[in-house]
Structure 1
């Protein structure tokens, strides 16, 4: 029986995905960045590695066929379906500090993905030291030939989804991005859905 989780706008979530199960992350309303980190379920010291993932596939974005690699060089999950086309794993997550630098001191009070991650990781005995470079599902981050990146309008439509089959037992930690100062969420954060199948 599928496990279905509806995650409110701006909120964090976490759950275990067992080896062989499929996790589906759905952008319910479209144009919503979904910041995600994976950890090995029985050893949080092994966690998602954006660098190893990009190196293993030789491409800048995550899409169907991508193997999400761990800090130990092992496949954690494999992307088996993707209706959006590409997902960022280079731009990292927003924080109160980066909001202040990018958008002005008056944004310091605004909630951010780093704070979501800190709150959710604390439920599993982890701290801010355990935050690593994350995946930004559905976030549109064009990379120019000179390596410059920018956050642009989202390209995902309502109902777009990405599915991954777990190659090991993993803990999935999500921040449903609360950013309102750049177009990664269409300036209007919305709810998402996560489904664990199998």
Structure 2
């Protein structure tokens, strides 16, 4: 993994704090996939893929221990995107299940949650990790992050997002008690577990193999995940 130094200034929230291979290794120039082909999201990196209305994206927790941050943007309007705060209000739960409509900040479905072979532990509460989070954890210098992986994956296919929306954190295990206290625990999924989402509009789906290696949500060893579009 190669990184560069932190820029001296950040013009807006579309600019990453550093660089990794995500920027230079898109699945294709504009993110269009070969249908049925299995692609890797390498450990600590992100990838973006175009999913047409009616197509299904499958995301695989290949090793079982990995959290995958996921976003979805309307293909022709990046200002509309899958929104966790709107989703929770729509489904009246904090944890989505198969059959749920996954809604945007305009309160309309962008995806439908189709399949989940895991026990169904996913997170909609925690913001994607970023350089500021790692600073609070004592990291000096640059550290890969889900926020930067989103920015870089989008840039890699020639697009731009001004903001980093909250992510759907697949397999992230963040239980909370009746007092509202949360815990940061390893995943409880098994190797090969997968989720599937059907696109309700042409969209850009972005995935980040979370690089968190300080808190044990990835068992302290970030691993790749895989995906395919059908």
The DSSP-based 3-state class of the residue aligned with 2:90 is helix
* Matches of 1:45 and 1:114, distance apart in 2: 16
Q: Is the 8 A contact 1:31 1:139 kept in 2?
A: no
8 Å Cα contact 2:86-2:104 kept in structure 1: yes
1:45 is aligned to 79
- 1:35 corresponding residue in structure 2: 69
1:155 aligns with 2:173: no
Residue in 2 that maps onto 1:140:
173
- Paired residue for 1:115? 148
Q: In structure 2, which of residues 103, 111, 114 is the aligned counterpart of residue 69 of structure 1?
A: 103
Q: How does 1:1-20 map to 2 (within 5 A)?
A: 1-20=35-54
Higher relative contact order (CA 8 A, sep 6+): 1
Residues 31 and 153, structure 1, Cα contact 8 Å, conserved in 2? yes
Please name the residue that 2:133 is paired with.
Answer: 98
1:63–1:87 Cα contact (<8 Å) kept: no
Q: TM-score, normalised by structure 1?
A: 0.92
Structure showing greater radius of gyration is 2
When you count strand as a share of all residues, which structure comes out higher? Answer: 1
> Which residue in 2 is equivalent to 1:24?
58
Give how far 1:158 is off: 0.3
The equivalent residue for 2:124 is 89
Per-residue CA deviations over 1:121-153 (Å, capped at 9, x if unaligned) read 2233314x3210111111111122122323211
> For 1:126, what is the secondary structure of its paired residue?
coil
Partner of 1:20: helix, strand, or coil? Answer: coil
Please identify, of 62-71 and 131-140, the stretch whose mean Cα deviation from structure 2 is larger: 62-71
CA RMSD across the alignment: 1.4
Q: Distance in 2 between matches of 1:134 and 1:31?
A: 18
Distance 1:115 1:6 in 2: 18
1-side partners of 2:94 and 2:115: how far apart?
18
How many residue pairs match? The answer is 194
Structure 1 runs (4+) greater than 3 angstroms displaced: none
Separation in 1 of the partners of 2:39 and 2:56? 14
Are 2:164 and 1:131 aligned? Answer: yes
For residues 137 and 4 of structure 1, what CA distance do their matches in structure 2 show? Answer: 18
Q: What's the secondary structure of 1:24's corresponding residue? A: strand
Q: List gaps (5 residues or longer) in structure 1.
A: none
TM-score (norm 2): 0.80
